[in-house]
Every structure is written in structure tokens, then in C-alpha cells.
Structure 1
Amino acid sequence: MMQSIPQAKWLSSLLSVAMVLFSIGQVAASDGTPAKQLFGGKKLPAVMPAQAVGFYSKGCLSGGIAIATDGPYWQAMRLSRNRRWGHPELIKTIEKLSSDAATKDGWPGLLVGDLSQPRGGPMLTGHASHQIGLDADIWLTPMPNRRFSAQERESTSAISVLRAKSVVVDPNVWTDAHGRLIMRAAGYPEVQRVLVHPGIKKKLCESWRGDRRHLNKVRPYYGHHYHMHIRLRCPKNSKGCRAQNAVPADSGCGKELDWWFNVALKPKKPAKKTTKKSVKPSKPKHMMLSDLPSACAVVLNSAAPASEEAVTYRTRGSAQTAFVPVKPVESPFSMPALVPIPKERPFVQ
């Protein structure tokens, strides 16, 4: 006699099969449009459990929430981009960092740049990563003691901490608080790495007098002298999230850092003239929905929150209402009237 299957397990298996079949059908239907257009066209998140799906540069986000436009120690910038969405763990981390930096490190508040799109995925412009709701750009410009207007959030520029036409830190811009902010973020266990310009990494290697155990998580990379890029580890409940390789155990202040200044950042010599007929470069291949994990088709085509609908996520062991009706931001830009935000601020004890 066939062994009976518990009803809950049977329903779960049936749902999994249905999602796979649905994904296959949606991939076929959407294969002619670049994924960045599909995901960039979504104004609100998928009403699904919070999951980071795939890799940082090839994936999507379900159940994302938006960081509030303003908080006690932060302001969100570039609202028109609609890129202030993330996994709840990312939102909690940003809010915690804003509070810690303001109350312990002498940094008045965060200016929050791009996180992810409402459903993650490739972006219409800019970043190759930021696709699974675990990346955040934090400006290296201190928050002023006033609130920016909607227009100022679009037009205000971040300030580089490097000397003009140089690869080293400008002592007239850089402060000890910059170092404390970056090292505070690197010290969080949920943070996998913090990307900064090699000049910033060099400055920290030379001047940081605090706990240096997490200096290895501060990684040099091109650009990133106007902002730091915080990347979280895959959350435990995101089984479809693909982790990045661990950072090396050493501080990264030796030969690895020297390479950036001796090779990578050296001015390139002009190419020699050649008589050969130049070959026209081929157009770059756009990432398609079929290039992403199959679950991203489900995320892309799932329902958005309705005006009175509530979705919960879990933080600190208790359910919190994530989607709550709020007044639309007074802005000349098109913004969704319903902005999912945590009902209670995670850093409040």
C-alpha cells in the first residue's frame, strides 16, 4: 500500500512544481526583451517572502522593502531612480549603521544612494551588481543638519575624498570620522565586504589605529571615492542566494594594495597606431530573463501589493508589518503612493 504523504508537504511539492512550470513559460514569453527593461519597469515589489535570489550581479529580489525617505540619522537620495529597495536585512543594517555612526562615531547621518530596484534584477543604467537586494551605496558626504528638498536630492552631488586628478586622499576633505564610518560598517558580521577606492584603503592601512581585524573586509576597487559600497552576506533564509568568495584573511595592506598603484591605476600609454583596418566592436549582449535564475521569472510576474494589503517579514523573531499605506512623497517625480517600510525601526531596542 502506498505510504500517505502529509497534506502540507504534498501541497508544498505541488506549489514548487507549479512555480517551475510557470517560470519556464514566463522565460519563453519574455525572452525577447532585455531583463533590465523587465525589472526596471516594475514600480513595486513582489508580494512574496523576502528572498535574495541568485548572485549579486545576476539575480533578483522578492519581498523587498524600501528604506524610508527620511530617518533620524539618514536621508535617501535620488528618489526618482526608485532604487531604495532591499532585503529587510539590508534595510536593518543601514538603519543600524546610521544610528551607530551618529551616536558613536561622530558621523551626523547617512546620505543613502542606490540600493536595488523593487524586484532587484539588472538595472536600466549603472550598476552591474545591486541585483539581489544586498548591496547599498552610502555617500562619503556627511548628512547636513537640515532636510533636502526633493529637487536637492536629485541635483546634489556627493563629494570625492581624493585630491583633484589624484589617487590619494585629500587631507582637506578626509576626516577621522570617514574612517570610523567605513570601519564601523566593515565590523558588522552580516557585512561581507565594503568596496572603496584604493586611495581610501591606503589611507586606512596607514592611519587606522582601532581594531584592525576587519580591515580585510575593506576592499579596493575602481571608483568608489564618492561613496562606499556595502555588501551583505547571503541571509540564512535565502536558499537561492549564491555567496561571493570570502575575503582573504590578511589585511590587504601589502602587495595586493601595491598592485593597484603600480599597475591598475597607472596612466595607460596611448595605443600604437596601426595600418590594419579597425574592426568595429560588437554591441554588448544584454542580459535576458533566461540568463537569471528560473525563480526570477516568478518574482518578475508576481502580484504587487494592493493599497490595503499587508505583508509581513520577520525581524528579531517577531512578525512586523512591512507594507503600510503612507502619504506619497511630495516630489515632482513619479513615485509609488504605497511605499513598503518597516513599521518599527529595527535599531529601536
Structure 2
Amino acid sequence: MSALLSDLGADLPLVAAPMAGGPSTPALVTAAARAGGLGFLAGGYRTAPALAEQIRTTRAAGVPFGVNLFVPNPVPISAAAYGSYVRAIRPEAERYGVTLPAHPLEDDDHWTDKIDLLVSDPVPWVSFTFGIPGPPVVKALRRAGSTVLQCVTSADEARRAAAAGVDVLVVQAPAAGGHSATLTPARPPRPVRLTDLIASVRRAVALPVVATGGITTAADVATALAAGAEAAMVGTALLRTHESGASAPHKAALVDPAFTATTVTRAFTGRPARALRNHFTDHYDPVAPLGYPALHHLTGPLRRAATAAGDTRLIHLWAGTGHRQAAAEPAADTFDRLAGRIPTCRDSPAG
């Protein structure tokens, strides 16, 4: 076990990934730590006060943890492209009586407020996705006592992160569920095995590596560690756990035989993200423009209505390629399985 996690009292090289939008709860983060690993709260899409409340709840459990933030890296969208997509998806929204935003909403996800929060009320680990924070932000967090991690998808991004002064790299392979961490969303990462990506990044920089993307079994964890990672970060494998805040339709879809494949789509948010193929990805990805966060805000009301109705045709069913391994069980059992303490055992779709 490397010092990377053991310094925080962890005895397993396993990290619960931050999954924004609901799945990452204080209960899941706490369970990850009590199972011997570490967990991340997902600061994305939350206001600073809402994130502060989650930090207080997790801190009260007496466990170490991290917080992940989205770095502003907007993908601008023209009014014409936005209007065209509004018209394309409006029939779906009308079925639920949902009014779509007429104009693009561009925001920075409360960036400054959340950085101020983490500098004034530090947590052990802070990680960043979508962009690389400037060196002053990195320095401020490190001075506050936080270890700073940066999610990267290539050796070039790793070099840029190292130049910004981060402590650790989270190396994300394309098999990961949810959003790609790519710094260039107009050019999604090409297919590459996680082990090859780890090797490429380690040749480029000397920083410690946490591996993520497609890790859902003990064999996957062992392979990532053998390739040079100091820990494995898992997300999809935890989505169906009791402590996960993922919606019931999302949890059920992960093991539903009706969903046969994942796909990388920008139809929901305007950034590339891996999800289960469904009606929405099949019909709207071909016409979806790039445009983040505008498309995230555009489809948000429709996605919420569809989730409330259990309509998996229209939900963003984020999932990595190993989603069939996700089990309905306590997160501690998932960690035990990933650590090789108990055999792999997938439950039934009704799970």
C-alpha cells in the first residue's frame, strides 16, 4: 500500500469516484472510507452552501474524504445551433408539460464560491475535472493543507497538470461512465486501454497516478495497480449500492437486459459522456451540437421529469462499459469484492 492513501488511514488502494448529479452522497463517501478506502463528494452542479452542508455531514462521520469540482471550461454555442436543438427535442418535453429554456444559460458552476469554501474550510483531497485550475488556486489549496488531484485523459494533459503544480493525477480511460474529463470536448479521447494510458502518463510525468475508467472487478483493480497506478478509482461499480443516490430507474437500467450497450454521447449536456444507449441518445446525438453547460441546462428539466416518471427512454443513464458488474448491495461489499476479499457475484436484474 502506497503512502498516497495510507497517510489518510486507508488500507485499500480503492477510491469512490465523484459522481455529480446525485449518486455521490455523504453516506457513500463514508461507506468507502469505513471499508478501507476513500471517497469523493461531487461538488459539480451544487452551490457552495449545498456543498458545505455535504462536507459538514461527511466530516461528522469522522472519516477522511475528498471533494471534486468542475473547472470552468465552457464550450460556447451559437444562438442558431441552440435554437435548432430546442426545436428538435421540444416534442419530448411537451409530453411532460416541460418548458425548455429559450436561451442558452452559461455559468461557471459557482466556481469562485466553491474555491473560497475549500480554502477556508479545507478537506484532505480536492480534485478537478473538465479543466486545470490556475497555479494560484492550486497553491492556495495546498497551503490550506489539501492534496490536489487533476483528472487527465492523455499524456499531454498530464504534462499541463504537472505544470500547474498538482500533487496527483487521476488518469481516466475512455471506458469510464459519465462525462469524459477531456480538456478538449470537441475532440473526445481516442480508444485506449487503461494500462496503456497509465504507461503513457507515467512516461510523461513523475506524479503519482490514480487509475479510473472501466474498473469493476478485482482483476481490473489488480491490473491497474500492476500497470503502475497507486490506487484504483471506481464509479459505475458503486451506482447500485445501498448508499448511492442514483435514481431508481438508473439503478434498474444498469442490469436491465433491454439496455445492451453504452455509447459516448453529447445529446444530454453538450459534452461527451458515456451512457447506456436509449431512445434519446439514438435519436438526438446525431443532431446535438457541442455546447456546455448550455445543453446541460437545456435538457435538465426534461431529464428530471423523465426520471420522476421512470421513463428511461429520456434519462441520462451514465454508465461505464462494465456496468453489468454493479450490484445492489452495501458499498462495503462492493469494496470487499474489488479488493478480492469475496468472489465476484453479479445479482439478477431484479436485484
Q: Which bin holds the TM-score, normalised by the shorter protein? A: under 0.3
**Bigger radius of gyration, 1 or 2?**
1
Higher relative contact order (CA 8 A, sep 6+): 1
TM-score normalised per structure 1: 0.23
Structure whose residues are more often helix by fraction: 2
TM-score normalised per structure 2: 0.23
